[in-house]
Homo-oligomer: A and B are copies of this chain.
Amino acid sequence: MTLQDTTTHPCSVRGVLLYEVKHVRDMVRGNLAVLEFDEVLPFRPRRCFITYKIPAGQTRGDHAHRQCAQFMVCVTGSCRLRVDDGRHWEEILLNRPTLGIYVPPQVWVSTQHGADSALMVFASHPYDPADYIRDRPEFQSLIGGPGTSRPRA
């Protein structure tokens, strides 16, 4: 049996943090991944949603939030996320229940699900359609950056 504590890793996109969450691996009893919200997350979730049975190649997300922060874990299968702060973007492959990603407000996210995957998303705020930014020029204007974003150098 092995126990690993939470570790975090920054990314080139503003405020985005990758988490390897606390977990126990046990060949006999099975595995456990744990998120103590107050200890490890920058917010206490008000909402959770799960996206699943997403056709391969279908892009989900493709928006930013004005105020809502999110934390995402791909519970089964894998999901490719693109996170973009308007200056830099990175692609992250979420492929295990212990790998989480914190996405602060005002970061654009799009996701592509692999076959039979399920993505669990915690949100810092209740659902509010006015919090979504779906228009790319509006996003660029909000973050005060240039019109295009570059991948990590």
Which residues of A does B touch, CB under 8 Å? 27-39, 44-55, 58, 60, 73, 75-77, 97, 113, 116, 118, 120, 122, 126-127
Q: What B residues does A73 contact at CB under 8 A?
A: 50
Which one of B30, B49, B51, B126 contacts A53 once the chains associate, using CB atoms below 8 Å?
B30
The 6 closest A-B pairs by CB, nearest first: A30-B54, A76-B76, A34-B49, A75-B75, A35-B48, A31-B53
How many Å lie between the Cα of A38 and that of B54 in the bound state? 27
**Residue of A60, A75, A113 most packed against chain B (CB within 10 A):** A75
Q: What B residues does A47 contact at CB under 8 A?
A: 34-37
Give min CB distance, A37 to chain B, whole Å: 6
Q: What B residues does A38 contact at CB under 8 A?
A: 46, 126
How many Å lie between the Cα of A36 and that of B126 in the bound state? 6
Q: Is the CB of B75 within 8 A of A55?
A: no
Question: Given A44-B44, A127-B36, are A31 and B55 neighbors across the interface (CB < 8 Å)?
Answer: no
Q: Is the CB of B52 within 8 A of A97?
A: yes
Q: Is the CB of A46 within 8 A of B54?
A: no
